[in-house]
């Protein structure tokens, strides 16, 4: 027998994708005459399914019912009773949560997902923005660098030896002992004033939002080992410097998002104080410390729970009321820095923070500034993420506005490198669009480079990472691989800027920076030695988003292409664009240009085509506009 359901077609499911809590749901199955009855099996996450008989009209079985009034995940399959007493089940293809159905004789067929959410709005300034990620130590030294250096040196950290690159263009490195532990933290000495002085550069690049990696007092150059959440690291600047940066940024249309590292602190911190650096008692002083309950000791004071086994990063119990109040209270960390001009927070390792704690952060932000943004670091599909055995509630209406879109990054890079064909890329993006509430989908941070990953140019050059530290530090792409990597980066970044979501540029990617994994992906920005062609390309992309608002809020629909050519449309009432990208290195790919697409918006490394049969050059892209739009 044959039966069919497709969650992406309105004939079979309405509404498409995630649905507002309490709204009506329509589901249907097409089946041949052998099917005598069809039953919907619908379950709230973690619960047994309820059975709903479906009405028949010709070959179509259908049912309409209201969704729950509160946010949750729902899962469904179908049970078909056939003539002769046989039963079969209809569900998703294995390891998928939507799309076309598959028929099975086993009832454990994969279910379809429905994300039921309570309405929440992601700020327009973010959804319509261009984000630039800055690693503060490595971006720019300001005129205040000598003062910052003197003030930082006056406050000594007993747990770490610091080294300063006096030469800004030095290659990055870590000083390690024989076990691999970092014992010397090298600093470039970037400052907040340096960022402020480079605001004209960011404005000309088209940036409207800056995501700053941690800026608070810490021992290391990465500053994920927070020493004091209430104080800017002295090497970076002062509270006044921060306030000026926020104010001058706003005047240029640039907002700032701060990195909130709340799952752990530094061992050399005001709160833990393992080395006695601070005068007040930290948790290592015992129960007399107001912070003692924040941490879990296995053997006081030398063995304690720490982040991924790193003893410089003792873990915090976010369920402790005093800690939650310190972070989220009226005079807490979240609200202080919003008051001083920040526009949002990015939550480091959001999957290691309890949902209850994230809700408190969101509530504090909503109370302080309803236009502020809460962004989470989540590496998988955030709609159905399970961490530490718990299904997360990021997108149900009371937690995150957006997440870092690592699923996009993964499939987009693999497509560009020839490891994933165009239809698979389209299916992955459609799966995200189906599972995410629209505000979260269009607000997803579409990154391709970050401080946690090898520089994107190095990735696209197919350069294996050496085992030796010295080779990793000095290795650069040879000319032929560098040329290939740049062409690939042009295509990948064009894809990043034209699919739904908020594009994010990792500092220096637009300048042609290379580097393997941490710390070699965190080198100093090459001021005066930027790659002019790549920088011009990124400026063209930011201008494209500005001139064509359809690229921020328009509908997204993949269209048939080839294994190499990824084709899709973006459409709104004012404009429809057709984007075609050929990732093939040698392939001249045939494409058929529909007659209504008569205007060429962008032709990258290929000629502007006339309607009808055309050929795309290798490693090329086209953006065409529909006539009359």
Between CA 180 and CA 516 the distance in angstroms is 17
104: enclosing H helix or E strand:
strand 101-104
Between CA 450 and CA 423 the distance in angstroms is 26
Between CA 449 and CA 127 the distance in angstroms is 19
Number of Cβ within a 10 Å radius of residue 180: 8
**Direct distance between the N- and C-terminal alpha carbons of the chain, in angstroms, rounded to an integer:** 45
Kindly state the DSSP code that residue 560 receives in the 8-state scheme: -
Task: Please name the residue ranges forming H helices in 44-96.
Answer: none
Using an 8 Å Cβ cutoff, are 486 and 512 in contact? yes
- 296 CB-near residues (< 8 Å, 6+ apart): 304, 305, 315, 317
* Token pair 């503060």 in the structure block, residue: 136
Kindly state the DSSP code that residue 613 receives in the 8-state scheme: E
489: enclosing H helix or E strand:
helix 479-498
Between CA 626 and CA 629 the distance in angstroms is 6
> Residue 377 catalytic?
yes
* Token pair 């007493």 in the structure block, residue: 85
- 284 CB-near residues (< 8 Å, 6+ apart): 272, 273, 274, 301
Residue of 312, 351, 377, 439 with catalytic role? 377
64: enclosing H helix or E strand:
strand 60-66
* Token pair 């579409």 in the structure block, residue: 446
Please list the residues that pair with 35 across neighbouring strands.
82
SS3 percent helix, strand, coil of the chain, rounded to 5, is 25, 30, 45
Tokens found for residue 432: 């995200």
Residue of 137, 233, 268, 348 with catalytic role? 348
Sort 387 into a burial class: Cβ within 10 Å, 0-12 / 13-18 / 19+: middle
Kindly state the DSSP code that residue 280 receives in the 8-state scheme: S
The 3-state DSSP class for residue 37 equals strand
Please list the residues that pair with 100 across neighbouring strands.
6
| Enzyme catalytic residues | 348, 377
């Amino acid at each position: 027998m044959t039966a069919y359901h497709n969650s992406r077609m309105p004939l079979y499911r309405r509404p498409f994708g995630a649905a507002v809590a309490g709204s009506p749901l329509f589901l249907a199955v097409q089946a041949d005459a052998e099917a005598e009855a069809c039953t919907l099996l619908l379950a709230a996450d973690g619960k047994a399914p309820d059975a709903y008989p479906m009405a028949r009209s010709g070959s179509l079985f259908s049912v309409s019912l209201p969704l729950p009034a509160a946010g949750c995940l729902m899962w469904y399959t179908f049970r078909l009773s056939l003539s002769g007493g046989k039963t079969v089940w209809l569900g998703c293809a294995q390891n998928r949560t939507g799309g076309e159905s598959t028929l099975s004789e086993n009832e454990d067929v994969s279910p379809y997902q429905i994300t039921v959410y309570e309405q929440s709005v992601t700020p327009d300034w973010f959804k319509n923005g261009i984000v630039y990620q800055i690693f503060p130590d490595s971006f720019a030294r300001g005129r205040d660098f000598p003062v910052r250096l003197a003030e930082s040196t006056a406050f000594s950290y007993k747990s770490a030896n610091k080294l300063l690159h006096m030469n800004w263009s030095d290659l990055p490195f870590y000083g390690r002992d024989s076990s691999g532990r970092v014992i010397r933290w090298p600093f470039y000495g970037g400052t907040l004033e340096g960022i402020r002085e480079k605001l004209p550069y960011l404005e000309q690049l088209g940036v409207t939002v800056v995501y700053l990696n941690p800026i608070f007092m810490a021992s290391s150059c990465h500053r994920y080992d927070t020493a004091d959440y209430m104080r800017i690291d002295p090497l970076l600047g002062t509270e006044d410097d921060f306030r000026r940066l926020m104010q001058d940024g706003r005047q240029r249309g640039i907002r700032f998002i701060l990195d909130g590292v709340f799952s752990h602190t530094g061992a050399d911190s005001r709160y833990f104080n393992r080395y006695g650096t601070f005068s007040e008692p930290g948790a290592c002083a015992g129960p007399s410390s107001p912070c003692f309950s924040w941490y879990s000791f296995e053997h006081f004071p030398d063995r304690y729970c720490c982040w991924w086994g790193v003893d410089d990063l003792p873990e915090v119990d976010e369920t402790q009321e005093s800690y939650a109040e310190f972070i989220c209270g009226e005079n807490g960390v979240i609200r202080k820095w919003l008051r001083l001009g920040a526009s949002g927070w990015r939550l480091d390792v959001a999957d290691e923070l309890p949902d209850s704690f994230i809700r408190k952060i969101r509530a504090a932000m909503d109370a302080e500034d309803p236009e502020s943004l809460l962004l989470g670091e989540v590496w998988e599909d955030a709609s159905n993420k399970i961490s530490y055995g718990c299904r997360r509630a990021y997108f149900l209406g009371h937690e995150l506005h957006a997440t870092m879109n690592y699923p996009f990054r993964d499939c987009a890079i693999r497509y560009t490198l020839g490891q994933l064909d165009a239809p698979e890329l389209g299916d992955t993006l459609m799966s995200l669009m189906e599972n995410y509430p629209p505000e979260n989908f269009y607000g997803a941070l579409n990154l391709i480079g970050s401080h946690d990953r090898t520089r994107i140019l190095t990735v696209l050059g197919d350069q294996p990472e050496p085992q030796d530290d010295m080779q990793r530090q000095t290795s650069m792409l040879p000319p032929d691989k560098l040329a290939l990597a740049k062409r690939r980066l042009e295509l990948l970044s064009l894809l990043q800027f034209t699919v739904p979501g908020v594009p994010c540029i990792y500092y220096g990617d637009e300048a042609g920076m290379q580097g393997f994994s941490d710390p070699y992906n965190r080198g100093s920005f090459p001021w005066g030695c930027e790659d002019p062609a790549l920088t011009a390309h990124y400026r063209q992309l930011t201008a494209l988003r500005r001139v064509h608002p359809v690229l921020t809020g328009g509908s997204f629909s993949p269209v048939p292409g080839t294994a190499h050519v990824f084709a899709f449309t973006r459409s709104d009432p004012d404009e429809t664009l057709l984007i075609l990208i050929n990732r093939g290195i040698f392939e001249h790919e045939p494409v058929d240009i529909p007659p209504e697409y008569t205007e060429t918006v962008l032709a990258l490394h290929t000629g502007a085509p006339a309607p009808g049969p055309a050929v795309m050059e290798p490693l090329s892209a086209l953006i065409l506009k529909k006539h009359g739009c």
